[in-house]
């Protein structure tokens, strides 16, 4: 369990660094950047090994930039904090990769749950075998939903940094 938390924290640090690097040039010119002009932090992505998490975060950063969603590091001020979950399952003889994004507000309440799935071909049937193209498609679909939520959201508060021990509400 401790090793999992350590890897999760290392992955979060790597993801934050990747986001910061990928979006650094955009910060000054987008005037906040997101559809609502608010920063969003991706705090974690569970259910996949660290290399897949890091690759998905890079794809999310690209998709966010294309949609003018401002991603910030996990220690930065953000109106919303996002926690993601990936899983694979066999359905009707096909492997499906499913994703869930829980978007939390300043009071650490889940403001929105976004989810989806995609049929994929994985060499080993394991999520660790997912390719860059599939990750890009998952990131694009995910960021479309996040951008739409931000565009329709009326909240103006800034989310606090969530503790690792903060309970995640499941519905």
Q: How far apart are CA 69 and CA 64, in angstroms?
A: 5
Give the pLDDT of the chain (171 residues) as one tens digit per residue: 555 554 455 444 444 444 444 444 333 333 333 465 778 999 999 999 999 999 999 999 999 999 999 999 888 888 999 999 999 988 888 889 999 999 998 788 999 999 999 998 887 778 888 999 999 999 999 999 999 998 887 444 444 455 554 444 433
CATH number belonging to domain 2-152? 3.30.160
* Spans of all domains in the chain: 2-152
Query: What angle, rounded to 10 degrees, do the helices at 2-23 and 50-66 form?
Result: 30
What is residue 85's predicted lDDT score, i.e. its pLDDT? Answer: 97
Q: Name the pTM for this structure.
A: 0.70
Q: How far apart are CA 37 and CA 30, in angstroms?
A: 8
Residues with Cβ within 8 Å of 158's Cβ and at least 6 positions away in sequence, in order, are 77, 78, 79, 106
């Amino acid at each position: 369990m401790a090793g999992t938390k350590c890897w999760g924290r290392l992955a979060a640090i790597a993801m934050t660094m990747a986001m910061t690097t990928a979006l650094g040039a955009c910060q000054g010119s987008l005037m906040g950047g997101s559809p609502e002009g608010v920063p969003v932090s991706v705090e974690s992505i569970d259910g996949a090994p660290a290399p897949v998490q890091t690759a998905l975060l890079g794809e999310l950063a690209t998709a966010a930039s294309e949609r003018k969603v401002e991603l910030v590091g996990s220690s930065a001020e953000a109106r919303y904090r996002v926690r993601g979950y990936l899983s694979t399952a066999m359905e009707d003889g096909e492997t499906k990769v499913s994703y869930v994004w829980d978007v939390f507000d300043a009071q650490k309440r889940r403001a929105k749950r976004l989810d989806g799935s995609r049929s994929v071909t994985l060499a080993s049937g394991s999520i660790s075998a997912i390719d860059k193209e599939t990750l890009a498609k998952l990131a694009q679909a995910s960021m479309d939903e996040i951008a739409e939520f931000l565009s329709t959201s009326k909240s103006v508060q800034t989310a606090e940094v969530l503790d690792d021990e903060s309970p995640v509400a499941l519905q």
